[in-house]
Amino acid sequence: MSLQVSELRVHYRTLKGEVRALDGMSFELADGEILGLVGESGCGKSTLGKSLIRMDGRMHHVGGRVVLDGRELPIADDRKMNDFRFREVSLIPQYAMSALNPTRKIRRMVTELLRSRGTTVDAAELERRMNQVGLPREVLDRYPIELSGGMKQRMVMVISTLLDPSLLIADEVTSALDVSTQKAVARALLGFRDSGYVKSMIFVTHDLALTHHIADTIMVMYAGKLAEKASADVIVKAPRHPYTRLLLDSLPEVGVRYAERRLEGIAGSPPSLLDPPKGCRFRDRCPLAGDECAEEPPVVEIAPAHHVACWKA
């Protein structure tokens, strides 16, 4: 097991009180596995991604453990966590387009970053990896503003994985890209895994369709909790949680004309995590909700490697 997360709770401090963005998440990630993490906005998927590498000032760790390759990650301790960042856990951020210092040439920035981490740049290796994602070596002698958005994104991907981290968190990396570039990025990420630059990966996205292409396993989150986790094919073809089903139903299908049939969304909106309701958090929007749903459903492994948190599954 590469990554084990157990009962992880991370809250946000706000003026109104504690927002329970992660409320007892438990899951495991095997070596070489790519986990697609999906859910609607505000479900806690980005919070989970951030918690594993760097919590921002408003987040705080309330409980639970994260173990990576047998070592516990000190996620609450910003300083101690520095030893793990980049070397063991790395991040391709949501804002990859603006992640590079605009006033440094890329070669210099990479050199300075690596030197600050106590290593040196292996120029040949760097160029080989850039070549793998289709970046010419001249890019190193340019400023970030001289690159297109897609190039910056790929450059960030190369930089983030330069120290061969065990776990890579790709946070909404495809959200700002057009469809053809999305595919290239997804392929590059797969390539990184296959070349052994990263052992395992968490691919955070709201795009279920794209996740299906690159992830081995898909984990669906709802309101700070795990809803369903299974292999990508099972999630897409035989989902058991009503939320997953509705999520899939709300995707447009190629070739279907939506003039005759309205594309259904999921009615209602997720509960406030300031003071989440008791019982199943999806209850208010769930077409199947019954009396037992007033009690919180535990995560149950209903089939090998298929976890669902629903009484009706």
Size of the chain, expressed as the number of residues it contains: 313
- Within residues 66-95, the interface with other proteins by CB under 8 A covers 81-87, 90-91, 93, 95
In terms of Cβ atoms closer than 10 Å to its own Cβ (0-12, 13-18, 19+), residue 212 is middle
- 101 binds other proteins per the rule CB under 8 A: yes
Q: Does 53 bind other proteins (CB under 8 A)?
A: yes
Binding of residue 60 to other proteins (CB under 8 A): no
Per-residue binding letters, 148-177, with other proteins (x by CB under 8 A): --------x--xx-----------------
Least Å distance, CB 168 to other proteins, is 12
Q: Which span (32-40, 62-70, 112-120, 205-213) binds other proteins, by CB under 8 A?
A: 112-120
Q: Which of 160, 43, 188 is nearest to 96 (CA)?
A: 160
268: left (phi over 0), alpha (psi -120 to 50) or beta: left
| Cα separation, 108 vs 14, whole angstroms | 39
Q: Is 256 helix (H, G, I), strand (E, B) or coil?
A: coil
Smaller CB separation from other proteins, 145 or 254: 145
The residue (of 156 and 223) whose beta carbon lies closer to other proteins is 156
| Bridge partners (DSSP) listed for residue 248 | none
Q: Is 16 helix (H, G, I), strand (E, B) or coil?
A: coil
Confirm or reject binding of residue 117 to other proteins (CB under 8 A).
yes
**Can residue 146 be called a binding residue for other proteins (CB under 8 A)?**
yes
CA distance linking residue 260 with residue 270, whole number of Å:
28
DSSP 146-212: GS-HHHHHHHHHHHHTTT--SEEEEESTTTTS-HHHHHHHHHHHHHHHHTTS-SEEEEE-S-HHHHH
Which span sits near other proteins by CB under 8 A: 52-60, 197-205, 221-229, 240-248? Answer: 52-60
Spell out the residues 6+ positions from residue 256 whose beta carbon is closer than 8 angstroms to its own.
Answer: none
Q: Can you tell me the distance from the alpha carbon of 235 to that of 245, in angstroms, rounded to the nearest whole number? A: 9
103 binds other proteins (CB under 8 A): yes
Q: Does 98 bind other proteins (CB under 8 A)?
A: yes
Q: Which stretch binds other proteins (CB under 8 A): 2-10, 139-147, 187-195, 284-292?
A: 139-147
Question: Among residues 118 and 255, whose Cβ is nearest to other proteins?
Answer: 118
Neighbours of 157 (CB within 10 A): 27
Query: From the CB of 144, what's the least distance to other proteins, in Å?
Result: 9
297: left (phi over 0), alpha (psi -120 to 50) or beta: beta
Q: Interface with other proteins includes 100 (CB under 8 A)?
A: yes
Is the CB of 112 or the CB of 194 nearer to other proteins? 112
By CB under 8 A, residue 119 contacts other proteins? no
Decide: is 145 part of the binding site for other proteins (CB under 8 A).
Answer: yes
* Footprint of other proteins (CB under 8 A): 53-54, 56, 81-87, 90-91, 93, 95, 98-105, 112-113, 116-117, 143, 145-146, 156, 159-160
